[in-house]
Copies of this chain bind each other. A is one copy, B any other.
């Protein structure tokens, strides 16, 4: 495990708890000492950790923010060029592209454990952080679009050992989906909050925005803007890092909101918008209630792709 922050540290704990042999590296001497004090095999030399991984044919996990990935990949190309490799970054296309550019011989399968990231650091980690959450494991990461199924199975088993459900998806599909269900809601929350608060320096009047609105704001405003409490640098890293997918989601939002505006201005009716949203939310409740499935080890990559596209999550092997 390269990187022992919240996600890397939680993964190390969960995997070791599941009986796996885990070792890790972190650039921080303090973090390495804290991890060792908690009974983990950690140092500050990624080259050493990677040499051990190459010798053991171990699965290497990149557990760092996207900007730190290329330098880590350069180390992998030098110390463990053909290693089994996964990551936990929240966008998947850019990581896949970076692997192709910087460590093309690595046997890479991307991953995204969709667990909370409000806190950070080794101390905030927990062996149960991933329990019951979805962990996307990507298909088609090779330059020719193929999937290294041996490593895919490795990563899926790691996710299951951590208590997560596995959702198979291509990197591009993952990024397009999370743009709609995570990055867009963060951006819309920011806009909703600003529309209520108004801009004290606005040249044109914003009727109704300001102190009175903020004093009256409760239920629907409170929920709809909650994630605007998140530290802006985290929101920016997420949203700006998934630019093209977020643009498509924003265009769809502008289109639907513009249609609602047009309908309200012309006939006064909002039923199409409101009913579509209510139906969508019902579909989400149904999706949440769906049971996970177990699949045979012989499941084809094509079948995995179909399961993910249908929104099914995998609980483990059936055999």
A contact set with B: CB distance below 8 Å = 114, 116, 134, 136, 167, 169, 173-182, 184-197, 199, 206-221, 223-232, 235-236, 239-240, 243, 245-254, 256-258, 260-261, 264-265, 268-271, 273-281, 283-284, 287, 290, 308-313
Contact = CB atoms under 8 A, between A and B. Distances in A.
9 contacts: A176-B208, A177-B213, A191-B256, A207-B248, A224-B226, A225-B277, A225-B284, A236-B270, A250-B260
Nearest to A260: B187
Contacts of A209: 177, 180, 252
Copies of this chain, count: 2
A250 B254 CA distance: 11
Nearest to A133: B218
Minimum-distance CB pairs A-B, first 10: A190-B277, A176-B208, A215-B311, A211-B311, A197-B280, A193-B280, A181-B217, A185-B220, A214-B287, A185-B224
A309 B184 CA distance: 32
A224 to B, nearest CB: 4
Nearest to A218: B114
Contact of A216 (B177, B195, B196, B258): B177
Contacts of A276: 190, 193-194, 199
A256 B195 contact: yes
Nearest to A168: B212
Given A114-B218, A180-B195, A273 B211 contact: no
A205 to B, nearest CB: 9
A278 B232 contact: yes
Nearest to A245: B208
A274 B239 contact: yes
Contact of A284 (B116, B196, B227, B287): B196
Contacts of A308: 212
A95 to B, nearest CB: 17
A209 B246 CA distance: 12
Nearest to A271: B236
A164 to B, nearest CB: 12
Contacts of A207: 176, 245, 248
Given A208-B173, A208-B179, A284 B251 contact: no
B243 A196 contact: no
A243 B257 CA distance: 15
A173 B226 contact: no
A284 B195 contact: no
A309 to B, nearest CB: 6
